[in-house]
Structure 1
Amino acid sequence: MTTPYRRRGEGECEMDAWLDANATTLVVVLAAASAALLLLAVVLLALWRHSRRAARRAVRERAAAQRERLDLELQLAEQGSRLTMVRELHEIAVHSVSVIATQAEGAQYAASQDPSAATRSAAAIAAAARETLADLRRVMTVARGGEVDADEQPGLANVQELFRVMRDAGLGVDFTETGSSHELRHGAELAVYRILQEALSNSLDHGGPGTTATVAFTWTDDGLKVLVEDDGTRAAAIRNGLDPYAEAQKQGYTVDDDLAALTQAPNGRGMTEMRERTELFGGVFEAHPVPGVGFTVQAVFPSLRYHNGVHGVPLDRR
């Protein structure tokens, strides 16, 4: 017996269509949820790997910092040992120089009384001087960590070579010299050279390529004035495509600003070193920025020709 065919009603057709539509929506929702979960898993994995790398990097940085700290402590200990040795050798050298001075005074007196005694004193002085020189060379070796030849230290004869090096690095250098130059002791020449070297290096570092430094040596009968003026501020404005005059006007510079620039004392290792080198030979050091232009360094040595590098103890004129 066959089942009679029954036509589907409109309600059943609508139900089927609704089920089909919702099934499609459910599939889309499930697919989107799966994609979101996959993306979340990828993000979490990336974050985990990043945190692992950061943790490893932090460990390496801590280890490197620890090694650097240990190296610095070792260097500090070595420097402390060197300073102790330098102080001890220096005390010996000072005592030896005192002995030489005493012997020289005795030889001067003996020369007028007994020429043979003066000869013996001169031999003793020469021997003491050689011993003192050996001690001083040991001081230099300990302080520098190796053998040092004093003849290799630069002086005024090397100034033109210094200018050439600075020009090759991008700093324009104009040099003028007035007055009659006179011979200086090597320590004084080295002080002048180092001051000039530091001033020109600062001009290049702060002004950048295109900066011009004007160097002037002014000699007097007993002294020397070293003047270094650069246009680093103006050069930086030109390098950036700006009008230097307009930029200076924008800053609203006044007379008070100029006075403040002239009276302030720039700090820093280089400035301190230049000031100490100048004062060591009885000089006066001054440095200040020039608003809208650049920077000026000046070292004036009133008695550099007869100064031995010790305050208040000038050498006799010859």
Structure 2
Amino acid sequence: MNALSTADARSLVLVLAIAGAALLVAAVVLLVLWLRSRRSHARLSGRREESEWDRIDRELELAEQAGRFRIVRELGDVAIQSVSRLASQAEGVRYAAVSDPEAAARAVAALETSARDALGDLRRIQTVVRDGESAAMPQPSLHSARDLFRVMRDAGLDVTFTESGDRFELRQGAELAVFRILQSSLENALKHGGPGTAVAIGFTWTGDGLQVSVDDDGIRSAARRMGLAGEAVDQATQYTIDEDLRALTETYDGAGLTGMRERAALFGGVLNASTVPGVGFSLSVVFPALKFHNGVHGVDLGR
């Protein structure tokens, strides 16, 4: 009877061992399937995010081309008028040369001035179209920024937006320049600050201009991702007086900032970028006369 009990006990232990092994294998299989499902979901979410981002990017690129074509058309009209004046003046010089050589000489000087003006208009056209030609679609409005903010929130940024002053209608190229600066700034905040970074965007409208500010807390965000909180974040992000002074005097460059500065300068804007020690990065763009600036280095398209 004792021998039977021992055999039964050994059988029970063997059954339990087999059952435990089976449960372990099942748990491993379920874990693998769950991880695969999670990766698949993450890939799908990433694809949706990339698709939405690409849609906005293509919309802005095409609208930017539309803005170029409009400027080319207006500058072309100006150039045609200039060449027409040249033809008339040249005809007058030809007739004057027969009866009054001195008057003809004076007319040649005016003809030279008109020719240089026409050449300047043609060079401006060349500057506008140098990026190439492509199909275009209607210009997005400032409300399209909400799509941009939503995509960046889905990517992990905590984006807030405030606006003050009386908004006025922007010219097509100016609006696109502001969009591109916002887009690049948010991309940089996500790249350098990482998910969880808080970004505060502000528009301040003045009588004739606009000030855009983009401030993030990428330095503190990095500390929070390390699992720190409260006073621990404050201690981890402490900075020295030298770092504070360097932030006030250091000039930041790079392909992204250079591109943003060029876009701002095209519409009379000045861009400043600096690190805020212990906090993150700050960028501001001031367009003092954006309401009337046409984006062709001040040339008056209405003349």
Alignment partner for residue 302 of structure 1, among 263, 288, 294?
Answer: 288
Q: Select the structure with the greater relative contact order (CA < 8 A; seq sep ≥ 6).
A: 2
CA RMSD of aligned residues (A): 3.4
CA positional deviation for 1:221: 0.5
CA positional deviation for 1:259: 2.7
* Equivalent-residue separation in structure 2 for 1:294 and 1:92 (angstroms): 43
* Equivalent-residue separation in structure 2 for 1:249 and 1:184 (angstroms): 44
Q: Does 1:265 align with 2:246?
A: no
Q: Does 1:97 align with 2:78?
A: yes
* Equivalent-residue separation in structure 1 for 2:147 and 2:73 (angstroms): 38
CA positional deviation for 1:296: 0.6
Alignment partner for residue 134 of structure 2, among 140, 147, 154?
Answer: 147
Aligned pairs (5 A) from 1:160-171: 160-171=146-157
* Equivalent-residue separation in structure 2 for 1:250 and 1:172 (angstroms): 21
* Equivalent-residue separation in structure 2 for 1:212 and 1:191 (angstroms): 23
* Equivalent-residue separation in structure 1 for 2:72 and 2:212 (angstroms): 34
Q: Does 1:227 align with 2:213?
A: yes
SS of match in other structure, 1:273: helix
Q: Does 1:189 align with 2:170?
A: no
The residue identity in structure 2 corresponding to 1:100 is Q
SS of match in other structure, 1:225: strand
* Equivalent-residue separation in structure 2 for 1:282 and 1:175 (angstroms): 24
SS of match in other structure, 1:149: coil
My pick for the range that moved more, 172-181 or 266-275, is 266-275
Corresponding residue for 1:200? Answer: 186
CA shift digits 1:240-271 (9 cap, x unpaired): 11357546546652334223113212121111
SS of match in other structure, 1:267: coil
* Equivalent-residue separation in structure 1 for 2:147 and 2:196 (angstroms): 19
How has the CA–CA distance of structure 1 residues 245 and 229 changed in structure 2, closer, same or farther, with 3 Å as cutoff? Answer: farther
Alignment partner for residue 283 of structure 1, among 269, 284, 288?
Answer: 269
Asked if the contact 1:248/1:291 (under 8 Å) is kept, the reply is no
Larger Rg: 1
* Equivalent-residue separation in structure 1 for 2:279 and 2:78 (angstroms): 50
Gaps in structure 1 of 5+ consecutive residues: 1-89, 105-131
How has the CA–CA distance of structure 1 residues 155 and 191 changed in structure 2, closer, same or farther, with 3 Å as cutoff? Answer: farther
TM-score w.r.t. the length of structure 1 is 0.54
* Equivalent-residue separation in structure 2 for 1:196 and 1:170 (angstroms): 16
Aligned pairs (5 A) from 1:75-94: none
The residue identity in structure 1 corresponding to 2:254 is G
Asked if the contact 2:145/2:179 (under 8 Å) is kept, the reply is yes
Asked if the contact 2:219/2:237 (under 8 Å) is kept, the reply is no
How has the CA–CA distance of structure 1 residues 214 and 101 changed in structure 2, closer, same or farther, with 3 Å as cutoff? Answer: farther
Asked if the contact 1:234/1:244 (under 8 Å) is kept, the reply is no
Aligned pairs (5 A) from 1:9-88: none
How has the CA–CA distance of structure 1 residues 187 and 95 changed in structure 2, closer, same or farther, with 3 Å as cutoff? Answer: closer
* Equivalent-residue separation in structure 2 for 1:201 and 1:91 (angstroms): 31
The residue identity in structure 1 corresponding to 2:135 is V
Asked if the contact 2:220/2:237 (under 8 Å) is kept, the reply is no
Corresponding residue for 1:254? Answer: 240
- What is the aligned residue count? 194
How has the CA–CA distance of structure 1 residues 253 and 165 changed in structure 2, closer, same or farther, with 3 Å as cutoff? Answer: same
SS of match in other structure, 1:306: coil
Q: Does 1:212 align with 2:198?
A: yes
SS of match in other structure, 2:291: helix
The residue identity in structure 2 corresponding to 1:197 is Q
* Equivalent-residue separation in structure 2 for 1:91 and 1:300 (angstroms): 26
Asked if the contact 1:163/1:173 (under 8 Å) is kept, the reply is yes
Asked if the contact 2:193/2:219 (under 8 Å) is kept, the reply is yes
